Structure 1
Amino acid sequence: MNDRRRGYHEDEFPTDELRVPHGQARRRQPVGEERRAEPGRVGPSRANRRREAGAAGRKRRGRALAVVLGALVLVVVIAGGAYGGMKLFGGEDAPADYAGPGGNAVVIEVRDGDTADQIATEMVDKDVTASGAAFYNAAVQNSAMNSVQPGFYRMKSQMAAADAVTTLVDPESRVGQIVIAEGRQLHDSADVNTGAVKKGIYTLISEASCAVGQGVPCVSYDELNAAGAGSDSSALGVPEWATDAVARVPDRDRQLEGLIAAGTFNFDPSASAADILKQLVSESSAIYENTGLVNAGAQSGLDPYQTLVASSLIEREALPNDFAKVARVILNRLAIGQRLEFDSTVNYALDTTEVATTDGDRAAVTPWNTYAMTGLPATPICSPSVGAVQAAENPEPGNWLYFVTINAAGDTLFTDNYEQHLANIQQVEPGFLASGR
């Protein structure tokens, strides 16, 4: 008996400030001194001086005209460049823009590494803004765009571009994000003693989808449960290493148990139930595979799906510092054909749960009750953490066969001797393993 209780950053697009060069001020020519009349012809005649003065004036006016014409050419070049840039974004004058204030909700996705013009394309494709140019122009003027993270955002159809940018950078616009805690199950469960409901993954997904509103329908708990029980496992993102085992699950409603990992996920809340589950299962498979799950049998002798099942037991039976020891207990018992006898597997098939279980609970034969059967349960019993998966892949060396958690702090005693195990049970804190049924 084993008793226990996508970051996104916005590229900057600096623009060089172009200025028309200032014309240089004319230098005042020094006025010549008054000449005295002298005998004989010493300088040019008065008529010649008038002709020379006229020529000098024309020369100065020519230089001034050249400066003005040069500046005019520069202005034309700048205007042409701005016009060309505006044409690039789809407008000859000001880019097309909606007046607002917008209609029904629209969900847009910001992908990891998206630039302002890529987000602008998404806005146009979803009819949030009238043109990419209008959104782009507003986006590059808002420094808060640098803080936008990958994920899904609630916008409105046909918004003014400036309003679309303001909405996008508002953290309240973020939708479709869920946090799945370690040990979470697909379905809701209630505590025997308090009646408190622990929300299942399907409930968390449904609540996140309902947060959009404004014309975007919710994905209901029942829709998710029905989709998760579908017979086409590939349409649900089930990896090849789990396909055969999932096909044999005796309760179709539980066939995706454990295949959605613990962690934080972003999903499109306007998508169908099947598409949402496919995304979450596919991303979770990648998380598990990155731990080395596919090749874990070299150390443990378990196939990938069995490793996932064992990981879920570890998650529910121990705290992280004891994960590797509990993993070893599982392998040691499986090796000699001894029943695992984990209370967590008894609780899994019950609508209400507690740390302890009753004699009647433990006697009930289910595909998960390891008191009533040898071997591993039919499915994982929760979503394990990466740490639990790694422990199942690399169990701590030892000959332990028994363990008991003795208090709410999680202190756990391990032994390979049954008599010592019975003595360890006597150290359990009074009332800790008492059933509330």
Structure 2
Amino acid sequence: MTSGRSSRSRTGAVAVLVTSLLLIVGAVAYIGFSLTSSDGSSSVAADYEGTGNGVEQVVEVPEGSSMSALGPELEELNVVRTDGAFQTAALNHLESANIQPGFYRLQQEMSAKSAVEALLDPANQIDLLDIPGGATLSDVVVVGGDTRKGIYSMISDVTCNNGTPEQCISVEKLENMGANADPGALGVPEWALAQVSQQSGNPKRLEGLIAPGRYVVDPSSSAEEILTDLVSRSTTAYNSTGIVERASAIDLTPYELLVAASLIEREAPAGEFDKVARVILNRLDEPMPLQFDSTVNYSLDDVELATTDEDRARVTPWNTYAMDGLPATPIASPSEEAITAMENPAEGNWLYFVTIDEQGTTVFNDTFEEHLDDVQSAQNSGILDSQR
């Protein structure tokens, strides 16, 4: 019995050994096959040498992408010779996990190691489009001050700085697309289609529908493709926050919520968003005109804090001195903070507010008489002096 068990054990051991050898041979054969290119050369030989041949390629690293997904594209674009070489180089580079989403300028025929290092070099990354809260579509010329670039100019700069001369998109082309393209095709949300369509031919009709944020812009895209991408992504972002329900909770439509929040962006100093929101709602409830100077300035070629009697009398789709209710469109891109402030206004009976000094001190009042006293303080400080 003992002898029989030993015999079977030896037989089993031999079987395990043979199986192990077969697995090892198979693995070696597989590795050898995997590391051999289609022309029979090894992966080491298949990798390019050097930092490229001078032929530029724009490569995108999408958000949430991985090296395993990026490698085949680099091989297809002839940036690296093989995906396998790129994966090995990425695996061996300690910083490869820090490659950021975006578009990069690389070259064709780079060694895999050079490609990884180029993706880690910020100098090769194409600029992002960075839209702050309160940005407007068009440039704003401040009397006696600087010109604040609008979103159309920001987009133009990104395409002109990052692309070829042929890819540079002018502000005029972007304005024309924004004014005349089919709003639905541009990605305008259903709850804003009617209002945007009513402003056909106006480059400002997309105001507020490109949300603040940092965007990757493909410099090879057309004006229509870029605007469609920005508006569509913003629509998705707005809808994902439940904007329809949020607006309904304060008896506004989603579009009206954007309009009101844009007023906060242009009127309120930091820390006072909720108070200005309360003034807006109180005045709409009265009802009484909003009389915001920012809505007067919106249609002017140059702006300043002080507005003239003549400007306040001009009838435009935005001037809330010459009309009741909210402006026809937003007057800026509202941040999430401004939208949240409209949903959660401060408690108060305020109907008036005015900034009284250059430090941005803003005073809120319930009565017109108190407001006049504070306007006088603002005039005494010089904050309301015109530079025109």
TM-score (norm 1): 0.77
1:342 corresponding residue in structure 2: 292
Higher relative contact order, chain-length normalized (CA < 8 Å, sep 6+)? 1
Distance change (3 Å), C-alpha of 1:377 and 1:266: same
For 2:21 and 2:283, locate their aligned partners in 1 and report how far apart those are by CA, in whole Å: 90
- Given the alignment, which residue of 259, 266, 279 partners 1:316? 266
Q: Deviations over 1:118-149 (max 9, x none)?
A: 11122133332333223222222222211101
For 1:364 and 1:372, locate their aligned partners in 2 and report how far apart those are by CA, in whole Å: 7
Note if 1:391 corresponds to 2:344.
no
1:117 corresponding residue in structure 2: 68
Distance change (3 Å), C-alpha of 1:251 and 1:322: farther
Note if 1:431 corresponds to 2:379.
no
- Partner SS, residue 60 of structure 2: strand
Distance change (3 Å), C-alpha of 1:84 and 1:270: same
For 2:39 and 2:97, locate their aligned partners in 1 and report how far apart those are by CA, in whole Å: 26
| Contact persistence 2:211–2:334 (CA under 8 A) | yes
Distance change (3 Å), C-alpha of 1:321 and 1:160: same
Q: Deviations over 1:74-131 (max 9, x none)?
A: 98556324214325x8674324445562344322221233222211122133332333
One-letter amino acid matched to 2:61: V
2:121 corresponding residue in structure 1: 170
Larger fraction in helix: 2
Task: Point out where structure 1 has 5 or more consecutive residues left out of the alignment.
Answer: 1-70
| Contact persistence 1:262–1:384 (CA under 8 A) | yes
Note if 1:379 corresponds to 2:308.
no
Note if 1:79 corresponds to 2:28.
yes
| Contact persistence 1:179–1:265 (CA under 8 A) | yes
2:248 corresponding residue in structure 1: 298
Note if 1:402 corresponds to 2:352.
yes
Larger Rg: 1
Distance change (3 Å), C-alpha of 1:323 and 1:72: closer
**C-alpha displacement of 1:326:** 1.0
**C-alpha displacement of 1:262:** 1.6
Note if 1:93 corresponds to 2:44.
no
2:214 corresponding residue in structure 1: 264
**C-alpha displacement of 1:399:** 1.9
| Contact persistence 1:257–1:383 (CA under 8 A) | yes
Note if 1:415 corresponds to 2:360.
no
For 1:132 and 1:90, locate their aligned partners in 2 and report how far apart those are by CA, in whole Å: 13
One-letter amino acid matched to 1:244: A
**C-alpha displacement of 1:352:** 0.7
Q: Deviations over 1:336-362 (max 9, x none)?
A: 331111110111101111111111111
For 2:21 and 2:241, locate their aligned partners in 1 and report how far apart those are by CA, in whole Å: 66
For 1:413 and 1:243, locate their aligned partners in 2 and report how far apart those are by CA, in whole Å: 37
2:16 corresponding residue in structure 1: none
Distance change (3 Å), C-alpha of 1:105 and 1:212: farther
For 1:178 and 1:242, locate their aligned partners in 2 and report how far apart those are by CA, in whole Å: 24
| Contact persistence 1:235–1:274 (CA under 8 A) | no
For 1:399 and 1:317, locate their aligned partners in 2 and report how far apart those are by CA, in whole Å: 18
- Partner SS, residue 361 of structure 1: helix
- Partner SS, residue 162 of structure 2: coil
Distance change (3 Å), C-alpha of 1:358 and 1:128: same
- Partner SS, residue 123 of structure 2: helix
For 1:166 and 1:158, locate their aligned partners in 2 and report how far apart those are by CA, in whole Å: 14
Q: Equivalences for 1:35-184 in 2 at 5 Å? A: 79-86=28-35, 92-95=40-43, 96-98=46-48, 101-184=52-135
Q: Equivalences for 1:15-30 in 2 at 5 Å? A: none
- Partner SS, residue 206 of structure 2: coil
Distance change (3 Å), C-alpha of 1:214 and 1:305: closer
1:252 corresponding residue in structure 2: 202
**C-alpha displacement of 1:298:** 3.2
Task: Point out where structure 2 has 5 or more consecutive residues left out of the alignment.
Answer: 1-19
One-letter amino acid matched to 1:427: S
Identity %: 46
1:367 corresponding residue in structure 2: 317
**C-alpha displacement of 1:296:** 2.3
One-letter amino acid matched to 1:135: F
For 2:344 and 2:179, locate their aligned partners in 1 and report how far apart those are by CA, in whole Å: 32
TM-score (norm 2): 0.87
**C-alpha displacement of 1:210:** 2.1
| Contact persistence 1:178–1:205 (CA under 8 A) | yes
Distance change (3 Å), C-alpha of 1:218 and 1:86: same
